[in-house]
Structure 1
Amino acid sequence: MASAAIDELKQLCSVKFERKTVPGIKNLPVAVKGLLDEGCDIVMAFGMPGAEPIDKQCAHEASTGLIQAGLGAGKHVIEVFVFEDEADSDKELAELADQRAREHARNVYRLLFKPEELEKLAGTGQREGGPDAGPLRR
């Protein structure tokens, strides 16, 4: 997923990348905090939790830590999680992971360089990695 996001960002802009790998999803918050403390403007955190209830609980705990890291630094942390049960086959899962990473990378680009594009997308029901929900109908 990180490779897809890096590829997408390289197509959009010129930024420096710092990449860290951790042994598990619950280790992401410490790595993210370290990157933010080192001066990164924004961090993307990638993970693929399993399908079991304990995996989802661990992902929730990791997500809470990522939120805390971002709040503590006053910077964005973009969480890019793909759960193993989101697709029926490995091929579909790989495609979903690639698409979600790329769409979140485009959001990183918008946050850094084109915030007005985010304003235009607000309320349109965008979904990273899947079909967009679309705006609410009255």
Structure 2
Amino acid sequence: KAGCSTVTCDSCQLRKYQLALDCSVVTFSNVVFSDEFPLLTTKRVFFKGVLEELLWFIKGSTNSKELSERGVKIWDANSSRDFLDKLGFMSREEGDLGPVYGFQWRHYGADYKDMHSDYTGQGVDQLQKVIDTIKNNPDDRRIIMCAWNPKGK
């Protein structure tokens, strides 16, 4: 459209991970993976943690305790009382990460209050926009989702 060429790299290693989910088939585009999930990497991966964190992002949650209860402790230190106090978030409840990735995906631009507030209909649901665009205009080269908040609040 803009007269720019596109560069691709086809040299990545594909690993497949067994799915231990309630679903038996996962579909990506025209490819169906029964009981396996493709992951481009050269490293060993804590797949359960990756999956739990991804589902947590998709949900739009900012409560690290939800992940911790599921055995994923990666966000615990960033929401500890000591850490929050050092950053000046004295009124933020322990476990409240603030407007992190999932919040940005599902409520981009909404004013963040706390991890218990209902943000339904607030901000831009970037994930839904991406899904809708892929369904309705799959050749659109502007399909993008940003997890970074340029406001820095």
Above 0.5 in TM-score?
Answer: no
Whose relative contact order is higher, 1 or 2, with alpha carbons under 8 Å and at least 6 apart? 1
TM-score, scaled to structure 1: 0.30
Larger C-alpha radius of gyration, 1 or 2? 2
TM-score, normalised by the number of residues in structure 2: 0.28
